[in-house]
Chain A
Amino acid sequence: MNFNSWQFLIFLPVVVGMYWLLPHKFRWIMLLICSYFFYMSWNAWLIVLLMTTTVTAYVASNLMKKTQSKKVRRALLIVTLIICLGILIFFKYINFLLEAVVGVIRLFNADQNSIVLNVILPVGISFFTFQTLSYVVDVYRGDYEPEPHFGYFALYVVYFPQLVAGPIERPGALLPQLHEEHTFKKEYFTDGMRWLISGFFRKVVVADFCGIFVDKVFADLSAANGLAVFIAAFLFLIQIYNDFAGYSEIAMGSARLMGVKLTQNFNEPLSSTSFTEFFRRWHITLNVWFTEYVYIPLGGNRKGVPRKLLNTLIVFALCGIWHGANWTFVLWGVTVGVFVCIESLIRKPVRRACERLHIDLHEPTIRFLRQAVIIFLFTLCSVMFRSSDIAQIGRAYVQMFTAWGGGVQVFSSAFESLGMGFTDFLQLAVSFVGMAVICRLTKDDLPQPSLPPLRGGEAAVKTSAYAMAAFGVLTIAFCWIALLTNADVSGFAYFQF
C-alpha cells in the first residue's frame, strides 16, 4: 500500500477516525493492528521478519535491565546485532555478496557460474532495523529505560506512518508520544493537512513529473547529448529529493493528524553552501543515526585528522551501501565522502584566505555561488545514484562531458532527448516555483500573528488557507490523474532501501 495509492487515501482517514473515536487505552491496539495490516499489504509473510526483529529487541532490552553484569549486557547487545543485522544482510545483500565472491572465484576459474538466490527484498527493512537497533543500543548505554509494555514497543517498531521509509525515530522521541493521551486539537488537523498537501505536491507534481524526463534519457544514454544528460542528472537530484521529502512529509502529516510529531527529515538541503551542511539538512535522521552509532564509536574526530578522515569515509561508504546492494551506491558514498573530507581539510585555509582578501563568505552573491557549486557537484554525483551499474555511470559521464557537438542545435537536441515540449517546460518551471513556496509553507517556525485580530484579520487567514487547500488538492489530483493515464505513477524510490 503506497502512500500515493487510492487504498491509502481510504486507509488513512479510517485509521484517524477510529483513533479519535476510541478511548486512549484501546488506541495502541488499533494502531498496532492497522500498522501490521499496512505492512502485510505488501507481502503477508514479511510480518515474520518484523516480528523476529521486534521480539529479539524487546527480550534483549528487558533482559539488559534485569542484569548488572556488563559482560551479559554486551553479549545480549551482540546477539541482537547479529540477529537484526543478519536478517538485513541476508535479505538485502546476499546476492550482492555472492556476486562479489563469484567475481573473485572467476579470477581463478573463468567457468564459475553465477549464484543467485531468489530472495525478496522486504519493504523498509533498512529503516525498521536501524530504528530497532537505535533502541537497543540506547538501552545498552543506559540512555533510555527499556519499554516494559510489549504492545507499545511493537507499535514503536511498526508505527505505519514511518515504518517503510523513516524518519528513523529515536526511542525518546517517539515512545513517549505513543504513550501520551492525546485530546483532539484543531492544530493537529491543520498541521497534518499542511504536511500532507506539501508531501503529495512534492511527490506527484514535482518528483514523478521530473522522473518522466530522467527515465527517458537514462533508458538510452547514447541518444542523448551532454546537455540532456546533465539536465537529466539535475532533474534526478530534484526528483529524489522531492520523492523522499514528499514521503517524509506525508508520514509527518499522517502522524500529526493523530497528535504525534515525527522528526523532520529534510531542511531545505538545496540551499546548502557546503557538503557538510548538505548532509545536516538531507535525510537528517539517517545521518544522525550514523553519527551516533558508527562515527562517534569509531572515534569521531577525537583521534587526530587522519583517523577522522578515515572514519568519515567509512561512514559514507556504509551510508552508500545502505541505500542499495550495488557498487554504484558504494561509489556514490565514497565519492561524497571524499568531498566531505576535502572540505574539512580546506575549510580553515579558505576561511583565512577570505579574511585576508576581505571576502565575506556569507554575502548574498558569494552565498549564491557557493550554493550553485554544491548543486553542480551533487548533480554530477547523482549520476552514480541513478545508474543501474558501473558501466552506465561511465557511459553517462562520457556523454555528459564529450557529446556537445551541433552548435546552437545542442539545446533543441537536448529537449528532444528529454522528450520535453514547451508546455512540459512551463509545467516544470511552475512546479520548481511551487517547490520553493512549499518549503516556506511547511517551515515549523511560521509565527502566529502577534497583532490583535483586526476586523476580517483571522477570517482573511482562514480564507487564504481554504483557497490554498482547495487549489492544492486540485493540483495534486490533476497531476496524479495525468500521470496515471500515462502510466507514469511510481512508488516511492526510498521504499527499495
Chain B
Amino acid sequence: MESVFLTQPVITIGFALALALLVTCFAKRMHGILVACAMLIFIAVACCAALLGATLGELGTVTMVFFLVSAVVYIRRRSGK
C-alpha cells in the first residue's frame, strides 16, 4: 500500500507548515502561544493523516522529526546559545 504522504500532498504540506512554524518560533524566540499553535496544527494534520490511512509507524517517524528539532533547540538553549 502506498504511503499516504505520497498520495495525499495536503498531509505532507500540512506537516511541513507545522514544522516551518515551529522552527520559526524557536529561531525568533516568539511567544509560547505560537509554539502551541504549531503543535495544534501538527495534531490536526496527524489526525487527518491517521483518518486517511497513515500507519502509526509513519506518524511516529514524523513526530520524531518534530521531537528532534525541539530537543536540539532545547540543548542549544540550555548550553547558553
6 contacts between A and B (CB under 8 A): A446-B78, A464-B70, A467-B39, A474-B63, A482-B60, A485-B56
Q: Give chain B's interface secondary structure class.
A: helix
Q: A450 vs B79: C-alpha distance in the bound complex, in angstroms?
A: 9
Contact present for A441 and B71 (CB under 8 Å): yes
A467 and B35 contact, CB distance less than 8 A: yes
Contact partner of A471 (CB less than 8 A), chosen from B3, B29, B70, B75, is B70
Q: Is A433 an interface residue (CB 8 A)?
A: yes
Question: At the interface, yes or no: A431 with Cβ under 8 Å from chain B?
Answer: yes
Which residues 426-479 in A have Cβ within 8 Å of B in the complex? Answer: 426-427, 430-431, 433-434, 437-438, 440-441, 446-451, 456, 459-468, 470-472, 474-475, 478-479
Instruction: Check B9 for interface membership: any CB of A closer than 8 A.
Output: no
Contact B60 A427 (CB under 8 A): yes
Closest residue of B by beta carbon distance from A209: B57
Nearest-CB distance from B80 to chain A (Å)? 5
By beta carbon, the residue of chain A nearest B57 is: A482
Cα of A405 to Cα of B57 in the assembled complex, Å: 32
B68 proximity list for chain A (CB < 8 A): 430, 433-434, 437
Q: A430-B61, A456-B29 are in contact. Are A468 and B71 (CB under 8 A)?
A: yes
Residues on B with beta carbons closer than 8 Å to the beta carbon of A446: 75, 78-79
Q: From residue A450, how far is it (CB to closest CB) to chain B in Å?
A: 6
Given the interface pairs A205-B64, A437-B72, A466-B32, the reply to whether A461 lies near B39 with Cβ below 8 Å is no
A215 at the interface (CB under 8 A from B): no
B45 at the interface (CB under 8 A from A): no
Q: Give A458's nearest chain B residue, CB to CB.
A: B77
A423 to B57, CA, bound (A): 8
Q: Pick the contact of B80: A427, A447, A456, A466 (CB < 8 A).
A: A447
- A482 touching B29 in the complex, CB below 8 Å, given contacts A464-B70, A471-B63, A472-B71: no
**Is there a chain A Cβ closer than 8 Å to B11's Cβ?**
no
Establish whether residues A449 and B78, one from each chain, have CB atoms under 8 Å apart when the complex forms. Answer: yes
Q: Mark A467-497, 1 if CB is under 8 A from B, else 0.
A: 1101110110011011001000000000000
Q: How far is the CA of A459 from the CA of B57 in the complex (A)?
A: 33
Q: Closest 8 interchain pairs by CB?
A: A482-B56, A478-B60, A468-B70, A471-B67, A467-B70, A464-B74, A479-B60, A427-B61
- Interface residues in A407-432 (C-beta closer than 8 Å to B): 423-424, 426-427, 430-431
- Contact partners of B73 in chain A: CB under 8 A: 464, 467-468
Given contacts A427-B61, A434-B67, A438-B71, list 17 more A-B pairs with CB under 8 A. A424-B57, A433-B68, A434-B64, A437-B68, A441-B71, A446-B78, A447-B79, A459-B32, A467-B70, A468-B67, A468-B71, A470-B39, A471-B67, A472-B67, A472-B71, A479-B57, A485-B56
Whether B64 contacts A430 by the Cβ 8 Å rule is yes
- Report the bound CA distance from A304 to B25 in whole Å: 63
User: What is the CA–CA distance of A423 and B4 in the complex, to the nearest angstrom?
Assistant: 11
From known contacts A205-B60, A459-B32, A478-B59, infer whether A471 and B77 are also in contact, taking CB-CB under 8 Å.
Answer: no
Which of A450, A451, A463, A479 has the largest number of chain B CB atoms within 10 A? A463
Q: Is the CB of A440 within 8 A of B32?
A: no
Chain B residues, Cβ within 8 Å of A463? 25-26, 32, 35
Chain A residues near B72 (CB-CB < 8 A): 437
| B77 contact set on A, CB distance < 8 A | 449, 460-461, 464
Shortest beta-carbon distance from A459 to chain B in Å = 7
CA distance A470 to B77 in the complex (A): 17
In the assembled complex, how far is the CB of residue A210 from the closest CB belonging to chain B, in whole angstroms? 13
User: Which A residues are in CB contact (< 8 Å) with B59?
Assistant: 478
**Contact pick for A426, options B61, B67, B70, B78, CB 8 Å:** B61
Q: Which residues of B contact A447 (CB under 8 A)?
A: 78-80
Beta-carbon nearest neighbor of A194 in chain B: B74
Would you call B32 and A423 a contact (CB within 8 A)? no
A467–B26 Cα gap in the complex (Å)? Answer: 10
Contact with A along B29-63 (1 / 0, CB 8 A): 10010010001000000000000000111111101
Asked whether, in the complex, the Cβ of B32 is within 8 Å of the Cβ of A475, the reply is no
